[in-house]
Amino acid sequence: MNCKIDIKGIAPGEHRYDFHIDRSLFEVYENDTVSEADIEASALLVKGAGCFRLTLEITGTVTVACDRCLADLDIPVEVEQSFVVRFPGGAEEDEDVAEDEIMMGQDASELDLSQVIYDYVCTSLPIRKVHEDGKCDPEMMEKMKDILK
Ligand SMILES: [Zn+2]
Protein backbone atom coordinates (compact mmCIF):
# COMPACT_ATOMS: atom_id res chain seq x y z
CA MET A 1 0.00 0.00 0.00
CA ASN A 2 1.70 3.17 -1.18
CA CYS A 3 0.04 6.43 -0.20
CA LYS A 4 3.19 8.50 -0.09
CA ILE A 5 3.81 11.90 -1.56
CA ASP A 6 7.38 13.05 -2.03
CA ILE A 7 7.19 16.65 -0.87
CA LYS A 8 10.87 17.42 -0.88
CA GLY A 9 11.63 19.89 -3.63
CA ILE A 10 8.05 19.95 -4.82
CA ALA A 11 7.17 22.96 -6.98
CA PRO A 12 4.82 25.63 -5.68
CA GLY A 13 1.26 25.25 -6.86
CA GLU A 14 -1.28 22.46 -7.03
CA HIS A 15 -0.45 18.80 -7.22
CA ARG A 16 -2.96 16.02 -7.44
CA TYR A 17 -2.40 12.44 -6.38
CA ASP A 18 -4.74 9.49 -6.66
CA PHE A 19 -4.51 6.35 -4.61
CA HIS A 20 -6.50 3.16 -4.76
CA ILE A 21 -7.12 1.56 -1.39
CA ASP A 22 -7.98 -2.08 -0.96
CA ARG A 23 -8.12 -4.40 2.00
CA SER A 24 -4.34 -4.51 2.33
CA LEU A 25 -4.44 -1.12 4.09
CA PHE A 26 -6.71 -2.62 6.74
CA GLU A 27 -4.48 -5.66 7.05
CA VAL A 28 -1.53 -3.39 7.86
CA TYR A 29 -3.44 -2.12 10.89
CA GLU A 30 -4.71 -5.60 11.77
CA ASN A 31 -8.26 -4.43 11.32
CA ASP A 32 -10.49 -7.52 11.13
CA THR A 33 -13.74 -5.56 10.89
CA VAL A 34 -13.23 -4.62 7.26
CA SER A 35 -13.12 -7.70 5.01
CA GLU A 36 -12.99 -5.90 1.66
CA ALA A 37 -12.34 -2.35 0.55
CA ASP A 38 -12.62 -0.58 -2.76
CA ILE A 39 -11.75 3.04 -2.16
CA GLU A 40 -10.40 5.87 -4.25
CA ALA A 41 -8.50 8.54 -2.37
CA SER A 42 -7.73 11.76 -4.14
CA ALA A 43 -5.29 14.20 -2.58
CA LEU A 44 -4.90 17.78 -3.70
CA LEU A 45 -1.71 19.25 -2.31
CA VAL A 46 -1.18 22.99 -2.58
CA LYS A 47 2.21 24.40 -1.83
CA GLY A 48 1.96 28.01 -0.78
CA ALA A 49 4.44 30.37 0.79
CA GLY A 50 5.98 28.28 3.55
CA CYS A 51 2.98 26.03 4.00
CA PHE A 52 1.23 23.07 2.52
CA ARG A 53 -2.49 22.54 2.39
CA LEU A 54 -3.99 19.19 1.61
CA THR A 55 -7.53 18.32 0.63
CA LEU A 56 -8.35 14.67 0.81
CA GLU A 57 -11.39 13.12 -0.84
CA ILE A 58 -12.11 9.52 0.00
CA THR A 59 -14.92 7.69 -1.79
CA GLY A 60 -15.72 4.04 -2.15
CA THR A 61 -17.07 1.03 -0.34
CA VAL A 62 -15.93 -1.14 2.51
CA THR A 63 -17.36 -4.55 3.30
CA VAL A 64 -17.99 -5.52 6.91
CA ALA A 65 -20.02 -8.22 8.62
CA CYS A 66 -23.58 -7.19 9.45
CA ASP A 67 -24.05 -6.96 13.24
CA ARG A 68 -27.40 -8.75 12.95
CA CYS A 69 -26.99 -11.53 10.36
CA LEU A 70 -23.15 -11.64 9.97
CA ALA A 71 -23.47 -11.63 6.17
CA ASP A 72 -21.46 -9.16 4.11
CA LEU A 73 -22.63 -5.59 4.32
CA ASP A 74 -21.33 -2.91 1.96
CA ILE A 75 -20.96 0.50 3.54
CA PRO A 76 -20.37 3.52 1.33
CA VAL A 77 -17.50 5.76 2.37
CA GLU A 78 -17.48 9.42 1.54
CA VAL A 79 -15.09 11.73 3.32
CA GLU A 80 -13.75 15.12 2.41
CA GLN A 81 -11.30 16.82 4.71
CA SER A 82 -8.82 19.65 4.49
CA PHE A 83 -5.55 19.70 6.34
CA VAL A 84 -2.71 22.03 7.06
CA VAL A 85 0.60 20.21 6.85
CA ARG A 86 2.91 21.41 9.60
CA PHE A 87 6.63 20.95 9.98
CA PRO A 88 8.55 20.92 13.24
CA GLY A 89 9.55 24.44 14.19
CA GLY A 90 7.22 25.93 11.59
CA ALA A 91 5.41 29.15 12.32
CA GLU A 92 2.06 28.86 14.05
CA GLU A 93 -0.82 30.04 11.94
CA ASP A 94 -4.16 31.33 13.06
CA GLU A 95 -6.35 28.56 14.35
CA ASP A 96 -8.83 27.41 11.77
CA VAL A 97 -11.30 24.96 13.23
CA ALA A 98 -12.39 23.75 9.80
CA GLU A 99 -9.03 22.19 9.16
CA ASP A 100 -7.14 19.35 10.72
CA GLU A 101 -3.41 19.24 10.96
CA ILE A 102 -0.89 16.71 9.78
CA MET A 103 2.40 16.94 11.62
CA MET A 104 5.47 16.00 9.66
CA GLY A 105 8.39 14.38 11.41
CA GLN A 106 11.80 15.97 11.57
CA ASP A 107 13.65 15.61 8.26
CA ALA A 108 10.59 14.09 6.66
CA SER A 109 10.63 14.31 2.91
CA GLU A 110 7.60 12.14 2.34
CA LEU A 111 4.03 12.68 3.36
CA ASP A 112 2.55 9.28 4.10
CA LEU A 113 -1.22 9.43 3.91
CA SER A 114 -1.99 5.81 4.72
CA GLN A 115 -2.55 6.43 8.44
CA VAL A 116 -4.70 9.50 7.73
CA ILE A 117 -6.80 7.68 5.14
CA TYR A 118 -7.17 4.68 7.43
CA ASP A 119 -8.27 6.82 10.37
CA TYR A 120 -10.82 8.77 8.35
CA VAL A 121 -12.33 5.66 6.76
CA CYS A 122 -12.65 3.96 10.16
CA THR A 123 -14.14 7.05 11.78
CA SER A 124 -16.70 7.40 9.00
CA LEU A 125 -18.12 3.91 9.59
CA PRO A 126 -21.35 3.76 11.59
CA ILE A 127 -21.16 2.26 15.07
CA ARG A 128 -24.12 0.02 14.32
CA LYS A 129 -23.44 -1.86 11.10
CA VAL A 130 -26.63 -3.59 9.98
CA HIS A 131 -28.55 -4.15 6.78
CA GLU A 132 -31.71 -2.14 6.26
CA ASP A 133 -34.77 -3.75 7.85
CA GLY A 134 -35.76 -6.83 5.90
CA LYS A 135 -32.50 -6.88 3.93
CA CYS A 136 -30.65 -9.30 6.19
CA ASP A 137 -29.65 -12.67 4.78
CA PRO A 138 -32.65 -14.95 5.59
CA GLU A 139 -30.51 -18.12 5.61
CA MET A 140 -28.05 -16.54 8.01
CA MET A 141 -30.91 -15.32 10.20
CA GLU A 142 -32.28 -18.88 10.41
CA LYS A 143 -28.85 -20.19 11.40
CA MET A 144 -28.53 -17.45 14.03
CA LYS A 145 -31.92 -18.42 15.46
CA ASP A 146 -30.72 -22.01 15.80
CA ILE A 147 -27.55 -20.87 17.53
CA LEU A 148 -29.44 -18.62 19.92
CA LYS A 149 -31.96 -21.34 20.91
ZN1 LIG B 1 -27.77 -8.28 8.03
Extents of the domains making up the chain: 4-148
At residue 8, the pLDDT reads: 83
Cα 118 to averaged position of ligand 1 atoms, centre (Å): 24
* Residue 37 alpha carbon to ligand 1 centre in Å: 18
Query: What is the pLDDT, as a whole number, of residue 125?
Result: 96
Cα separation, 145 vs 149, whole angstroms: 6
Q: With a cut of 50, list the residues of the chain below it in pLDDT.
A: none
Q: What does the pLDDT read at residue 92?
A: 60
Cα(115) to ligand 1 centroid in Å equals: 29
Predicted pLDDT at 40: 98
Question: What CA–CA distances, in Å, run from 122 to 91, 93, 94?
Answer: 31, 29, 29
Which residues are in the CB-under-5-Å shell of ion ligand 1? 66, 68-69, 131, 136
Measure 28 CA to ligand 1 centroid, in angstroms: 27
Cα of 47 from ligand 1 centre, angstroms: 45
Residue 55, strand partner residues? 44, 82
**What pLDDT score was predicted for residue 7?**
87
pLDDT of residue 96: 53
Q: What spacing in Å lies between the alpha carbon of 122 and ligand 1's midpoint?
A: 20
